[in-house]
Amino acid sequence: MNKVERNHIIKLISSIAKFIIKNFLFIIIILKPLYTEFGIYKSLLFGSIIILVVSIMYFIDWHNTIFYFEENSISYKKGTINVKKREIPFNKINTVDISQSMIQKLLDVYQIKIDTGSVIEEKSEIVLLLESSRASEIRNLLLEKNTDNIDEDTTNEYTLSSKDLLIYTLTSNVILSGMGIIFVIINFIDDYINEFLNINLIDRIIPSDNAVFKMVLIFILFVIFSIFIAIIRNYIKYDGFRVYIENDKLNIKYGMCNKKNYSFQRKKIKGIHIKQNFIMQKLNLRTIEVESIGYGDEEGEKAILYPICTEKLQKNIIEDLMPEFSFKGTINKPPKNSIFRFMIKKLIFAFIIICFLVYKFSYGYLSILLIPFVLVVGFLEYKNTAMGMSENLVYMCCNGFNRNQSIIKMSAVQSFEVSETYFQKLKGLSNYKINIFGNQFGNSIKVCNLSYRFYEKLAVDKFM
């Protein structure tokens, strides 16, 4: 056994600080009656005792969390009463994520997350906080590298320009989240000022008696500010974006304040997803994501391979970085007699809503606009639905406004299902579904209303 190591002492300090911040209000509630009864000194003494006890508990936990390296594996042990120990062979490691927040950058430490192919664990299986030099050494060791410089021997590199980031921001859905943030802020400020200063913030900013003009102007301002916030947010998040091959490993680096550095063994990537919202479809742009356990499993994180690209650039990226996912097989589309199947359920649902609104409200007749909307959605789903298969890959495409193309390795497919309703059977149609051994347990992709004859042509034995 090699030398036993522990997390950086900053990990201990950070855990204590997070506890105090998270439970600050609760501590104040406990101390308030003590302050009233015994005075400030005794209440502060009691508060200090609480913090001391918690600090001792966190210290024991930090001290008992250790890791060490064997010849071909890493061992990790944590816990005081309920002790857990893991031993992970190097060749089972799927993803190594090195990240650094602004505070960690000031303290010259990195966080390392290690994941294998297990879908049972909801979080990263091993999380370490180490000095930057040691973090780099461990990363190289885990990925079986022989060089200390992580920027050496890089090939097939793709970067993201400021122009690309701007296009990504303007065409992605993050603008909607920006509008939500702006709405919450303005609503909070307006209520606060109204309550304490008796001032209507909206009336002061937009002094107009025309309600329609005021609403339109507010909407325009919301859009402008939300775009501004989304641009800043994406520039900070994806600053310095690079994706490249290094010693046959796929590496993804980005981030200004919160630096991210992911490394994958290419053979352990299960598939890729090419995603387009409605605007991207019209502009022939797309986002490429990867299906790899340990990447994209954090809250608010996407498994991005490349944020925004054209169809031509997408093909170049796949050919250069992951040629094994270049699909060359035949793609099967739904037959023309299936188009009604993509619309019927939506039309029934829209009809029910229209009847309710017309009966309940005088302006409910406007809801008839739902009919062309659901027809467009159904047509887009019909147009985007496709499935194909080659010797080693499965291609599936689905959804309307948010088109999703997936190219999955045969070896990552856990099961293959074919289903049909009575009415589908009359028209010779079936639904096809695959379950993937990927980021989430039970992750699946489904395409509907393809010809049943396609099933007869499939090599079903590959899935069974």
Please identify, among 238, 260, 294, the residue that sits at the C-terminal boundary of a domain: 238
Contacts of 324 (CB under 8 A, 6+ apart): 266, 392, 409
Residues 6 or more apart whose CB falls under 8 angstroms from that of 141 comprise 69, 90
364 and 328 in a single domain? The answer is: no
* Residue 427: CB atoms within 10 Å: 16
Same domain membership, residue 316 and residue 402: yes
Residue 454 lies in a domain: yes
Q: Which helix (H) or strand (E) holds 434?
A: strand 429-436
Q: Is residue 398 part of a domain?
A: yes
The string of DSSP codes covering 245-300 is EETTEEEEEE-SSSEEEEEEEGGG--EEEEEE-HHHHHHTEEEEEEE-TTSS-STT
Euclidean distance between CA atoms 392 and 325, whole angstroms: 9
Per-residue pLDDT tens over the stretch 138-173: 887 877 643 444 444 556 789 999 999 999 988 886
User: Is pTM beyond 0.95 here?
Assistant: no
Whether residue 390 is contained in a domain is answered as: yes
Radius of gyration of the chain (CA): 28
Look at the block and give the residue holding tokens 């299906």: 291
Domain assignment present for residue 199? The answer is yes
What six digits make up the tokens of 36?
């009233």
Same-domain status, 328 and 340: no
Rounded to the nearest integer, the mean pLDDT of the chain is 82
Query: Does residue 340 share a domain with residue 297?
Result: no
Q: Are residues 289 and 233 in the same domain?
A: no
Last residue of a domain, one of 381, 412, 443: 381
Note whether residue 216 is domain-resident.
yes
Is residue 309 included in any domain, yes or no? yes
What is d(CA 307, CA 302) in angstroms, rounded to the nearest whole number? 10
Same domain, residue pair 209 and 316: no
Q: Give the pLDDT confidence of 93-146 residue by residue, as tens digits.
A: 878 888 888 888 888 899 998 887 665 555 567 899 999 889 888 887 877 643
Q: 377 is in which domain, residue-wise? A: 336-381
Cβ neighbors of 275 (< 8 A, separation 6 or more) are 286, 287, 288, 289, 402, 403, 404, 405
Query: What does the block give as tokens for 112?
Result: 């390392």
197 and 53 in a common domain: no
Looking at the structure, do residues 180 and 299 belong to the same domain, yes or no?
Answer: no
Residue 310 belongs to a domain: yes
Same domain, 341 and 320: no
Give the chain's domain count. 4
Most distant CA atoms of the chain, gap in Å: 83
- Of 364, 381, 398, the residue at which a domain comes to its end is 381
pLDDT tens over the chain, length 464 residues: 578 999 999 999 999 999 888 888 888 887 778 777 777 888 888 888 888 999 999 999 999 999 998 888 899 998 888 888 888 888 888 788 888 888 888 888 999 988 876 655 555 678 999 998 898 888 878 776 434 444 445 567 899 999 999 999 888 866 565 555 555 555 655 555 555 555 555 555 556 565 666 677 777 777 787 788 888 888 998 999 999 988 778 899 998 888 888 888 888 888 999 999 999 999 999 999 998 766 766 666 778 999 999 999 999 999 999 999 999 888 999 999 899 999 998 999 999 999 998 888 888 888 888 999 999 999 999 999 999 988 889 999 999 999 999 999 988 888 888 898 888 888 889 999 998 876 555 588 999 999 887 766 664 545 44
234 and 371 both lie in a single domain: no
- φ, ψ at 427 (rounded to 5°): -100, 5
Same domain, yes or no: 395 and 370: no
Measured distance CA(157)–CA(306) in Å, rounded: 11
DSSP letters along 345-398, please?
HHHHHHHHHHHHHHHH-TTGGGGGGHHHHHHHHHHHHHHH-EEEE-SSEEEEEE
For residue range 71-104, what is the model confidence (pLDDT) as tens digits? Answer: 888 999 988 888 888 888 888 887 888 888 888 8
Cα 415 to the chain's mean position, in Å?
24
- Could you tell me if residue 97 is inside a domain? no
Do residue 391 and residue 318 come from a single domain?
Answer: yes
